A and B are shown apart, each in its own frame.
Chain A
Amino acid sequence: MLIQKKICVIGEFGVGKTSLISRYVDSIFSEKYHTTVGVKIDKKQCPIGDALVNLVIWDLAGESHLRTLNPAQVRGASGFLLVADGTRADTIDIAIALQRKVSEILGPVPFIFAVNKQDLVEQWCVGPEVADTLRERGWDVRYSSAKTGAGVEQMFLDLASRLIDSEGATDAES
């Protein structure tokens, strides 16, 4: 059974959204910074239980003063990956604001919050209390590194799995 699911990857510019996707989809990482203009769409099939999920991953250009979230690009997503950069505290605040915006558009869909750049943990200005506070709010907070690959594949697989679970829950309710 092949199930297609759209997910969005959202966060401030430069937090590593595109790098996380490249690591997951193509198993590559580039040190060079490439900013995404507009939207980048990738696909990856992943097995979840008996099902094969075709993840259509929408990499939305990072939030910045140049651009802000376009609701039309988020609609239709079954879940999202929210990304912040552990070395830049302000990206956490932006991520929190984005989570509210996206939840207003999509309703209560599954999401995972990735605090990225774990390979630079000695430069992090985000303490464990931030993750603790967000977990108390029910967030699934992960640490990841697109550079080393730590936590990346598991994060996408877990999100895909939760999309399937939530689809089953929706079917059961309807």
Chain B
Amino acid sequence: MLNPDQGADDTSSVGSDFPPPDSVLFESIAGELHQSTASPEWLDRVKSEGGSASSITDCLPYLESFLPDATRFWDHAGEGELASDFWTQTDASGDKIHLLACALAVDGKRLLLIRSVDDLYHESERAQQHAHASVKQFKLAALRQRGLENLEGSPKGSEQRSIETETRDALTGISSRQRFDELFELELRSANAQDQPLSLLYLDIDQFQLINDKYGRPAGDAYLRSIGQLIEGVLSKPKDIAARVGGEEFATLLPGTDATEAVRLAHTLGGMIRTLRVPDPISRGLLSATVSIGVFTRPSKSEETPAQMLGAVEDAVREAKRNGRDRIVIGDHPI
């Protein structure tokens, strides 16, 4: 129940430490919230929208999801605070109010501070919009790449698709670019949820065009098939992913693999590709090449996006090419 009187004496001094007038402080006593400071203007607007509602969760329904977490925090924490997610609701006139709650444990008191946070919200909104735009651009680029491949190779007709199709690259049989992009998103979320590192290798066959020029396209295709099989054969964990992401470009996504292990795997792949010899039945020659590899490891609890990770390994591969090819370069973490 909203009760502006109870609990006010002891906590009003705590409340006065917070910047008025956009915040309101509650104290949780025996599982009930008692309002300890005067209502800010936004709370009056919310209350009037709720009509005669007397429960704080009627006025602020988001608290239904936050109070269980807050209670666990109060039950187990010493001093400190637990911030909620942002939430937005509308007042009686339909205007949006952006709010943030914070559970505090101060001198054994269970306090709940709720603030109106328009500026902070809009800042986060801008950052999120930017991130979403980057992901969309990345996905669009991937779509265009696939379109080019379809034009160059065997046309697949329309872009219409069923749910579980287009997961395999038609030439090499390993994961397609589209499948790689989808799994990248999912594995990134999984890495965040489980506090695991996520490593990415980007492999670009050096001077592949020379193979096509010298031996012809069918021979080049056979070589790429061998590379795909080689990479997939080297990966050892069930969740490791090998994909063909461009003409002669391959990527491996390594969930739960740290930087040391990722570099070790890059050296293994580099060595195996260097020594690979693929016979060409027509010319009776042996096709061989080297590879430039970019490596990036996203440690646990970090925030790099798929676009940033791919940007880092692509930059690393470019640096490897500039420095003479047939080498491994560790990608820089974005600033």
Contact = CB atoms under 8 A, between A and B. Distances in A.
Interface of A: 6, 13-14, 26, 33-42, 56, 61-66, 68, 70, 72-73, 75-76, 88-90, 92-94, 96-97, 125-127, 129-130, 133
Given A61-B128, A66-B128, A72-B69, 15 more contacts: A33-B129, A34-B125, A35-B125, A35-B129, A39-B85, A39-B88, A66-B305, A75-B65, A76-B64, A89-B159, A90-B178, A96-B163, A126-B160, A129-B162, A133-B163
A3 B85 CA distance: 27
B86 A38 contact: yes
A65 B189 contact: yes
A140 B62 CA distance: 28
Contact of A40 (B88, B159, B193): B88
Interface string B71-105: 00000000000000111111000101000000000
18 contacts: A13-B132, A35-B128, A37-B121, A38-B88, A39-B62, A39-B88, A40-B87, A41-B61, A42-B90, A61-B128, A65-B306, A66-B305, A72-B66, A73-B85, A90-B139, A90-B178, A96-B163, A126-B161
Interface string B250-292: 0000000000000000000000000000000000000000000
Interface in B120-155: 121, 124-125, 128-129, 131-132, 135-136, 139
B124 A133 contact: no
Contact of A64 (B94, B124, B131, B181): B131
Contacts of A96: 163
A160 B325 CA distance: 62
B181 A90 contact: yes
Contacts of A129: 160, 162
Contacts of B139: 88, 90
Given A42-B90, A64-B131, A70 B85 contact: yes
A44 to B, nearest CB: 11
A26 B93 CA distance: 12
Given A97-B186, A133-B162, A26 B128 contact: no
A41 B87 contact: yes
Interface residues of B, number: 41
Q: Which among A6, A40, A64, A65 has the greatest number of chain B C-beta atoms within 10 A?
A: A65
Nearest to B120: A37
B93 to A, nearest CB: 12
Contact of B188 (A6, A26, A36, A65): A65
A92 B178 CA distance: 13
B324 interface: no
**Which of B66, B88, B193 gathers most chain A CB within 10 Å?**
B88
B136 A14 contact: yes
Nearest to A69: B189
B68 interface: yes
Nearest to B87: A39
A70 B188 CA distance: 16
A76 B159 contact: no
Contacts of B62: 39, 41
Contact of B85 (A38, A63, A75, A93): A38
Contacts of A26: 94
A55 B87 CA distance: 17
A133 B163 CA distance: 8
A90 B178 CA distance: 9
Nearest to A93: B182
A38 B136 contact: no
Contact of A90 (B121, B132, B182): B182
Contact of B88 (A41, A93, A94): A41
Contacts of B129: 33, 35
A56 B160 contact: no
Nearest to B191: A65
A125 B66 CA distance: 39
B86 A39 contact: yes
A14 to B, nearest CB: 6
B11 interface: no
Nearest to A59: B88
A130 B162 contact: yes
Contacts of B96: 40
A167 to B, nearest CB: 18
A144 B31 CA distance: 43
B65 A72 contact: yes
B185 interface: yes
